[in-house]
Structure 1
Amino acid sequence: MPSATRVLVNQVGYLPHGPKRATVVTDSALPVSWQLVDASGSPVTGGLASPPRHDAASGLTVQVVDLTDVTEPGSGYTIVVDGATSHPFAIDPGLYQRLRYDALDFFYLARSGTPIDAAVVGDLYARAAGHVGAHPNEGDTDVPCIGPRDYYDGWTGSYRLDVHGGWYDAGDHGKYVVNGGIAVAQLLGLYERALHAPTGDPDALDDGTLRIPEHGDGVPDVLSEARWELEWMLRMQVPEGEALAGMVHHKVHDEGWTGLPMLPADDPRPRSLHRPSTAATLNVAAVGAQGARLFRPFDAAFADRLLAAARRAWDAATEHPDLYAPAAAGRDGGGPYDDTDVTDERYWAAAELYLTTGEDTFRSAVLDSPGHTADVFGAAGPDWGSTGGLGRMDLATIPNDLPGLDDVRRSVVEAADRYLAVQAAEGFATTYAGVDGHYGWGSTSMVANTLVVVGTAFDLTGDPVYREAVLEGMDHLLGRNALGRSYITGYGSVSSTNQHSRWFARSLDPALPPPPRGSLAGGPNSLVETWDPVMLAALDPEAAPQTCYVDHVESWASNEITVNWNSALAWVASFVADQGSGAGAPAWPTS
């Protein structure tokens, strides 16, 4: 058994009126007895676990303990089963308030092109600005298009762009529009949810709530953080007069991979812009439109810029509908983020432009899209390469006059029901079962993204079954899993601490900081899916999917941190923080 205990719990705890379940690993053929013990060691209650079952994802035989009826707040609770004791946990309505902010504060620490201010984050996480052209760094203020490459059919541009700013995508120094697109959409989306959902709390996201420099401007901090990325995305748009004017460069990064550890300001390699892509362009159309409607009350001029860029991107993507990012573009120091199907991005962009403008052109584009009647929710929920669900959920929740909205809303709830069916069959409460029995790269983000869909179903229906499923899904991320590990740094008795990063790399250089609290590790990745040498050396080739994880700074396939994984975590953390004690709420207002 990989975990130090056979009794696996949410190591942070449970809401007083939410579900409270734990998983016990045992070979017993009969239900085992359990006891809940308080911080003083006194028994509180007990009972029998559920009948045993085999959990395919972990390869373990498990039973489930249910203490949902216990509602008394407190800390230091443990569950004892047959001489084994769980990690301690709390019962508290305020459990997730700090996680909401820590998950969002991650983004300031990922900023490129600006110093990270010690006055904001403390000396440990302060650093010099990266990629601004200060020696030895060539910077992002005057970046050329990459030279001719076979995978771009000889394309190159003759211009140079200032593309400073934005967020570093992951553990490297690259910046990618499609990864940034879903990340910024989820930050904008969690704020928009707070404005409309019955349990939403926009005051919890107001000016002054996050650890960022932009305080006192009257703009909600989550929007200020999203703006940092949006401004960069606008800089990635091809200027007028060029052959692909209005299109958006897919990515900017080093020519050749840098090693670990390395602060952004110490990166000595030249940078280059990669060819524009239809996917990146439609990302800008989508988030530009979404941002325009949310920034309108705070900065009308910026909202106008965003909407103008979104329209320009939509037109350019219509003119160039099949300019795809190739897989071979991963040879030169950055991930390829290849995608040869952009019908989902086009549907998403049409939805956001319609919601912002109400114009017939975009209404028709939504209704005529094959994505509008397709199942846009796969096993992993929305992700950078499957964005149709983002548009579908916004159409379902943001007031609008699109015909057939009942069907739109029903499709979200039906997708949530499929994730609930997965969760019911799993021994460790996850809503993600993998594909063909295998866990993909970034599996914890897939758990989080399915929970976004389930949370949206709760907002739409008010049915507590969906709220409870989100809370149980958080249990999985916070320690109720085969490894007994919280995948969120700083949360739980045993959490990931050595995520793959060039500058959150204390395990390689004691002068550098560790990953910050609230950063989501990528999580288990089936060995058949990876060529990560650290994982291959450390794990049994027959390891079950849920155990394919190594907390090592060089395990990029199981332990990386990325902006689009933390954005999904931030959405879910904000949702559960809004649930208070776990009591019910009415459905989302739909008119």
Structure 2
Amino acid sequence: MQMCRYADVRMWGIISFFIFALLHPHICISAHPHINDSSWIRINQLGYTPQGVKVAVWCAKAAQDAATFTLHDANSDKVVWKGRSSGDFGAYGPFAHTRRLDFTAFRRPGTYYLACGGSRSPQFRIGRDVYKGTADFCLQYMRQQRSGYNPYLEDSCHTQDGFTVYGPMPDGTHVDVAGGWHDASDYLQYVTTSANATYHLLAAWRDFKPVFGDRCQANGTGGRNGVADVLDEARWGLDWLLKMHPAPDQLYNQVADDRDHSGMRLPTKDTTSYGKGLERPVYFCTGEPQGLKKYKNRSTGLASTAGKYASAFALGAALYRDADSSYSRLLQGKAASAYALGAARPGVCQTAPCGAPYFYEEDNWRDDMELGATMLGRLSGQQALLRQATDWARQEPLTPWMGADTARHYQWYPFHNFGHYELASASPALQPAMMGYYRQGINAVWEKARHNAFYRGIPFIWCSNNLTVSFAIQCNRYRYLTKDHRYRELEQACIDWLFGCNPWGTAMVAGLPASGDHPEDPHSSFSHLYGYPVSGGLVDGPVYGSIYKSLIGITLHNGDEYAPFQSDLAVYHDDFGDYSTNEPTMDGTASLVYLLAAQDYEARDAFTCSHGAIIRGDSTRRQLALVFTADEFADGGEAIAQVLQKHQVPASFFFTGRFYRDPAHTALIQRLRRAGHYLGPHSDQHLLYCDWNRRDSLLVTQQEFNTDLQHCYQAMAKQGISRGSATWFLPPYEWYNDTIAAWASARQLQLVNFTPGTLSHADYTWPQLSRYRSCDTILQSIMDYEKQHPAGLNGFMLLMHAGVDPRRTDKCWERLDNLLAWLQEKDYKMVTVPRLLQERK
């Protein structure tokens, strides 16, 4: 069975869960029973990346001693980490007491659980791959939402769409708009959400290409077609948008209306009549209030819809420029005509209600025009468009819901302004202003979030999960461009919330993680009528208790498994009868694809690795680690320590066991310890692990490797250096292979090595060697590398030696003072190896 083909959709739904679990064991959860029933530990069920923020939340209904917590290896139950809980944040929702359990400093990959205040968390993983494949997983829901040909059902639906209403042509005129995506569990289709979804999918491909795979054909069925699935899905959206903008002066905004809500059925069995057979109404954009029956919207113009068209078309044109030039030209023309309509008719173009009062009450449009102008300006090179975009940005610097307690349904949409990020990326001169706007919004949310243990500052309005995803994207893109990491914990708290670190302890994405607690009874005809999973769909999320009580037609059918965790603050139900909290949405899922791709990409790209060792830290941050190794020689040790002290710079020293045992070196070792430098292992006897010419040829056995390392740690222990404080290991001769890295990992050590590119490590050579390098040559190589590479020495582990053979009289540590002065003039921050490679706050 191919991964995207559904001959037996019920069976495929079951099988897909197991396949995903087998391929992604890191996201499988094994729940432990609670030791008591009055306190709980909420975690991110997907897991945590080694370098990322790692926080769980302890919550209780009665006072308990929870000042400390422990982290346990899930296999042995041994305590591997002890920490102090945060102060008590007090009541939140159903809980009287809440605390944050921060174990960010622990970064060893493995499977663990937390214990605190008489409670034990479910098991979770720490690993660089915890987000691997999750973005592609969510594309399953996008394919299931396709209108026209539906690959999930291997059948077609809504092929006769549709007939026009409100257009300049006679009402009832046929127009071909088959295709696109159904908006949620109903079968309405909106440009408002579809254009935004298309943009997010295109941007995800542009920004994070390596994380996406190719398992499906363009039509969504199984088999590779040489195009990433995310780009196939984005094109499905683009092709429908092209139909909805058939001429330069014609825009459509919506297919069908709330007459669709006539009962649950599969889209292929949709026989709802709008008075013209199986055709559905297609709403023309007039810029005036619309609504065919009792209720009407408050439209004032075209710009909100036109701007969304323009941004999706322009980004699509840029991405297809080389792959399909004719398609790219078509998209560019459509982007220009849509933007022109928006500029001529400023104002909002809301979706249309009919017999019910619910519609997307979008009240802002400048953000859409800003993004459209930016992307069209970048595509065409027209600076006038970028100036227009800047004007729009200044008129709406803050997405208005941020910092507010409530908002009407989709009142401020999209939920974050991608235009600020795109403008800042297009023009470095605009970056301070645009990112200042982002920071203003983030601060507004943070002022609310910092007072509760979940760091929750997002209002519990309808589609609160969609707001959460968008806000996390804003935090992520702000951090990416500014390198300001002050909001990293807030950003991660939003992601953690979506995957179980919330009062209900459940993930909000159907089927993810595979064996975790996630929506199983969503408001969907697919799952309710036929038991078909809606894998990858992001559900609406919790709403205020007051909103829930005011909604029409909600009835729970299967009890409330989360009853102990409901409150007046917010409710969430995994029950198909609750369309307010448990209905998957297409646009929210598309945004989630972007966010998960960003997490996967960052976890993969945070460090540069070679043969299983980390050889470079984050190349986007202006910091580096000075590394010194030594075995038999230490003649530069004291001079190096003095220069480091002069410049108040920490460094990392990797010594062999025989170096640590030598009494002549004790004073130096203790001085380095007192100064706060990192002291780590460099083997015991300075063994050569593998052949110089045949790297895959080992010269030691695993037993010899382990024994030698054990002896090194014994020597370090006698100097007062614990194994737990020295888990970063630099191999002897700086030479190793993948097997050595695996052996180190099995001992819960992380192999590191110097960053290649300079000649710093050649300071041990002496003139009689053919590979001899003078200190002038070495220092010049460092300066040349810094000048010639855009990232400079960011993330470098710059290795030198603490002692050299007496035959070398040119001692490079004598030039260390000048080197450090130069690095500091270049604004590099020197840190230890653990600090360089740990979570980047």
**Alignment partner of 2:145 out of 84, 99, 110:** 110
Percent identity between matched residues is: 21
| 1:338-368 C-alpha deviation (Å, 9 max, x unpaired) | 4354233222222221122121441332233
Aligned residues of 2:45 and 2:124 also touching (Cα < 8 A): yes
Deviation for aligned residue 1:372:
5.1
CA contact (8 A) 1:74 1:92 kept: yes
1:585 matched to 2:614? The reply is no
Displacement after TM superposition at 1:456 (Å):
0.2
Determine the structure 2 residue equivalent to 1:529.
Answer: 547
- Which one of 260, 265, 269 corresponds to residue 266 of structure 1? 269
- Deviation by residue 1:304-355 (Cα, 9 ceiling, x = unmatched): 11111111112223333347336xx322589632435423322222222112
Matched position secondary structure for 1:557: coil
Alignment partner of 1:354 out of 368, 377, 382:
377
The answer (yes or no) to whether the contact 1:522–1:558 under 8 Å persists in 2 is yes
Q: CA RMSD in A?
A: 3.4
Partner of 1:122: none
The structural deviation recorded for 1:126 is: 3.3
Structure 1 residues 213-252: aligned runs within 5 Å: 213=221, 217-239=225-247, 246-252=249-255
Aligned letter for 2:212? Answer: L
2:467 corresponds to which of 430, 434, 446? 446
C-alpha distance in structure 1 between counterparts of 2:451 and 2:387, whole Å: 40
Residue 509 of structure 2 aligns with an amino acid whose one-letter code is I
Residues 202 and 234 of structure 2 are in contact (CA less than 8 Å); yes or no, is this contact kept in structure 1?
yes
Partner of 2:123: 88
When structure 1 is superposed on structure 2, of 557-566 and 341-350 the one drifting more is 341-350
Q: In the alignment, residue 233 of structure 2 is paired with which amino acid?
A: E
- Given that residues 44 and 500 in structure 2 are in contact (C-alpha distance below 8 angstroms), is that contact kept between their aligned partners in structure 1? yes
Equivalent of 1:515, from 510, 523, 534?
534
Q: CA deviation at 1:392?
A: 1.1
1:382-405 Cα distance to aligned partner (Å, 9 max, x none): 9784347121111122x347x534
Q: Cα gap change, 1:167/1:80 in structure 2, threshold over 3 Å: closer, same or farther? A: same
Residue of 402, 407, 411 corresponding to 1:379: 402
Match of 1:54 among 86, 90, 103: 90
Question: After the TM superposition, which residues 182-581 of structure 1 pair with which residues of structure 2 at under 5 Å, given as runs?
Answer: 182-194=196-208, 202-205=209-212, 207-208=214-215, 212-213=220-221, 217-239=225-247, 246-253=249-256, 256-270=259-273, 271-276=280-285, 277=287, 278=302, 279-322=304-347, 324-325=349-350, 329-332=352-355, 336-369=359-392, 371=394, 374-376=397-399, 378-379=401-402, 385-387=412-414, 389-397=417-425, 399-400=426-427, 404-430=430-456, 432-434=457-459, 439-492=460-513, 493-503=516-526, 505=527, 508-509=528-529, 511-516=530-535, 518-530=536-548, 531-534=551-554, 544=567, 547-580=570-603
- One-letter code of the match for 1:62? T
Counterpart-to-counterpart distance in 2, 1:289 and 1:384: 25
Please give the alpha-carbon distance, in whole angstroms, between the structure 1 residues aligned to 2:445 and 2:363. Answer: 27
Give, in whole Å, the separation in 2 of the partners of 1:332 and 1:370. 36
Separation in structure 2 between the aligned mates of residue 574 and residue 295 of structure 1, nearest angstrom = 20
Q: Distance in 2 between matches of 1:66 and 1:249?
A: 50
CA drift at 1:104: 2.6
Query: Structure 1 stretches of 5 or more lacking a match?
Result: 117-124, 133-138, 195-201, 240-244
- 1:63 equivalent to 2:99? Answer yes
The one-letter amino acid of 1:451's match is: A
Say which of 34, 37, 43 aligns to 2:79.
43
Q: Flag the 1:495–1:567 CA change in 2: closer, same or farther, 3 A.
A: same
Give distance in 2, aligned partners of 1:525 and 1:156: 42
1:53-94 Cα distance to aligned partner (Å, 9 max, x none): 22445554211222222222112x222223322111111110
Q: TM-score, normalised by structure 1?
A: 0.82
Deviations 1:457-508 (A, max 9, x none): 12112344444443332211111111111112223421111111222x2xx3
Distance 1:19 1:368 in 2: 37
Quick one: which amino acid aligns to residue 236 of structure 2?
Answer: W
- TM-score under structure 2 length normalisation: 0.59
Distance 1:394 1:319 in 2: 23
Query: 2:258 touches 2:356 (CA, 8 Å); kept in 1?
Result: yes
CA contact (8 A) 1:131 1:265 kept: yes
Once the two structures are superposed, what CA deviation does each residue of 1:277-311 show, in whole Å capped at 9, x if it has no partner?
51323221221112111121211111111111111
Establish whether residue 128 from structure 1 lines up as the match of residue 140 from structure 2. no
Which amino acid is the alignment partner of residue 514 of structure 1?
P
> Which range moves more in the overlay, 173-182 or 378-387?
378-387
Say which one has the larger Rg: 2
Q: Which residue of 2 is the match for residue 7 of structure 1?
A: 41
Question: CA separation of 1:28/1:188 partners in 2, compared to 1, >3 Å: closer, same or farther?
Answer: same
After superposition, the Cα gap between the structure-2 partners of 1:473 and 1:319, relative to the gap in structure 1 and judged at 3 Å, is closer
CA pair 384-236 structure 1, distance change in 2 beyond 3 A: farther
Asked if 1 retains the 8 angstrom alpha-carbon contact of 2:400 and 2:412, the reply is no
Within 2, Cα distance between the matches of 1:489 and 1:175? 22
Is the contact made by 2:316 and 2:328 (CA closer than 8 Å) also made in structure 1? yes
Cα–Cα, structure 1 residues 209 and 90, in superposed 2: closer, same or farther, change >3 Å? farther
CA distance in 2, matches of 1:163, 1:235: 5
Residue ranges of structure 2 left out of the alignment (5+ in a row): 1-33, 274-279, 288-301, 608-616, 622-789, 792-841
Deviation of 1:114 after TM superposition, in Å, equals: 0.7
Once the two structures are TM-superposed, the CA of residue 433 in structure 1 deviates from its matched residue by 3.0
2: CA distance, partners of 1:233 / 1:207 = 24
Structure 2 residue aligned with 1:32, among 46, 67, 79? 67
| Structure 1 residues 53 and 334: CA distance shift in structure 2, 3 A | closer
Identify the residue that residue 628 of structure 2 maps to in structure 1.
none
Greater relative contact order, per chain length (Cα 8 Å cut-off, separation 6+): 1
